Amino acid sequence: MLFKQQALLRQKLFVLGSLAIGSLLYLVARVGSLGRLQPICPIEGRSGSHISEQIPLRTLQFQRGLLHELRKGNAMIEQIRLHNLVQQLPQAIIIGVRKGGTRALLEMLNLHPAVVKASQEVHFFDNDPNYAKGIEWYKGKMPFSHPHQITIEKSPAYFITEEVPERIFKMNSSIKLLLIVREPTTRAVSDYTQVLEGKERKNKTYYKFEKLAIDPNTCEVNTKYKAVRTSIYTKHLEKWLKYFPVEQFHIVDGDRLITDPLPELQLVEQFLNLPPRISQYNLYFNATRGFYCLRFNIVFNKCLAGSKGRIHPDVDPSVVTKLRKFFHPFNQKFYQIIGRTFNWP
Ligand code: A3P
């Protein structure tokens, strides 16, 4: 009898204990996501006015879920109307540079509750057949969002494609342009590594980086090699400056985005007139990946795909030195134009 009573008591204590732990976990989860979600941003609108809107946390969580469903193509037309969701042309574009960290930048900006991203590279302005489909086709490629949110897309080929600045200018002459750059030689090697991996996947052989980057006839840097040309940032930027004033660009330090992303993201928030919402909570270093990963809330976090952060092949140090010497004057010009310097050798 006494044994039965004790068992009953233990059972009751177990249920009470589980309830207490469950409630505690729930509270922690709420607090964890509060910092990111609750204070909804007064975003400076395109007209320059501030829209100050307080949306309760539960509504926001529901809306996030709804946006997720929309992305998966599951939501109903009525829901789109009911929640006043729209597809908007981007108010900011990450124009490049290839291998600069464009994916990391887009994904990290998407941590901000007022930012929605086009998940795929749209290649509207650099691809003639796509461009011929018209601006409504482009808009149709954008995610659903609330009118107060801003849409961002990234297509790194825009930066180096001749026709793109004029085409973007025709769409929106006051659009904000984000360019993420890395030390030019490292970027060129990263570019090469991506192509090499593609060749290896198809069981094809490929030249060594040194053979491509140095002209065997002159022993000088081979400026016909695309990975070298792409890293001459000033040459490309000058073409954009025929259409847009330099103030319309924000240059992100892609090397620092790897080692210490938060300050770079805070500068972008300022440039986009967004209230600061991305915090250290949203970014954690993953030692296995060797990179920062993203934390949306207590349950949802993610690292970038394995194709981001490849191991680069060793490059002959004399070739590295030659390339760095080659890029030096172009880098100086680039610093002068953008009014910011980087720790490039
Ligand atoms: P590597 O593969 O050379 O390391 P992009 O998205 O423009 O193709 O750029 C890819 C680069 O983003 C990678 O180049 C990687 O170094 C960099 N990167 C920056 N932050 C990263 C992150 N948090 N996770 C993975 N890669 C990141």
Domain boundaries, the chain: 55-185+231-311
Q: Is the pTM of this model over 0.75?
A: yes
33-35-41 Cα angle (round to 5) = 115
What is the per-residue pLDDT for 11? 60
Using DSSP, state whether 285 is helix, strand or coil. Answer: strand
What is the per-residue pLDDT for 6? 58
Residues within 6 Å of ligand 1 by CB:
98-104, 156, 190, 257-258, 291-292, 304, 308-310
Going by C-alpha positions, the residue among 68, 245, 233 that lies closest to residue 145 is 68
What is the per-residue pLDDT for 106? 98
Question: Which segments in the chain show pLDDT lower than 50?
Answer: 1-3, 15-16, 19-61
Q: How far is ligand 1, taken at its centre, from the CA of residue 306, in Å?
A: 10
Rounded CA separation 342/183 (Å):
8
Catalytic sites, residue numbers: 99
What is the per-residue pLDDT for 80? 75
Ligand 1: residue whose CA is nearest its atom 12: 101
Strands (E), the chain: 43-44, 50-51, 86-87, 92-96, 115-117, 144-145, 150-154, 176-181, 249-253, 283-286, 291-295, 301-302
CATH of 55-185+231-311, one of 3.40.50.300, 1.10.3720.10, 3.40.630.10, 1.10.3210.10: 3.40.50.300
